[in-house]
Structure 1
């Protein structure tokens, strides 16, 4: 299994759980597509998809991120936790876990099906963040019955 920590510049946000980063020196960087481990955010055309993309952009775009990667998925994306400096201390240490922040905001689901890829501490944090977001009716939890992305993808026609 791949285990790597990379220091990269986040250059693009695809959606609420996927970003593009440039890793290495500017003259010889590697472009890496990253899916945030532990979460699944609404798809672009799904309710809250635009808000999720904007939230991840606010959290990570243009920042130097520490990518803690543990595998590459079937789409050749690196599965990583993404750590950035929080907005309250932009020049400080990278202490904000972007996936956990998205879950806390109610703009991503904790992806329980992949919980075994997280440490027990991470599982507890993500599960608690989702429970709190749901209890506060934050983000997508405002809907009485939000549809998880994995169910939405099964029941939606392909988007162009």
Structure 2
């Protein structure tokens, strides 16, 4: 006779986890679906196999393909968007700066990605708001460093 259910201890041993980890996963809504019979928790074998097959990935980036984005959107990481916009890298990598400036971004799993068109539209709005407030970015070709405002003003918008 084939076994239909697995208890918490058996599943923890199968995955080399602590039973406490499975308990935490259940409280967080993670892990395979389970059944609770009185005080006993059991996992149907089919649910365990299903969960294991969904956890299989051929590459690290494959996990990000579960997220659906609008057609034609090319998502870039912080280094790429910094390079194409010529804006400082810290603007995209530092969470506080990114949020303070309102830079549009998307979270793909634990990764932060940027859509070029959205960033350019944001830069246009940001530059226009600065001009509306009477702030003009004067670009001095002899100066070694430039401000964020000067960098945004020099974007091809």
Superposition TM-score tier, normalisation by shorter sequence? under 0.3
TM-score scaled by length of structure 1: 0.24
TM-score scaled by length of structure 2: 0.24
In terms of fraction of residues, the more strand-rich structure is 1
In terms of fraction of residues, the more helix-rich structure is 2
Q: For CA contacts below 8 A with separation 6 or more, give which structure has more relative contact order.
A: 1
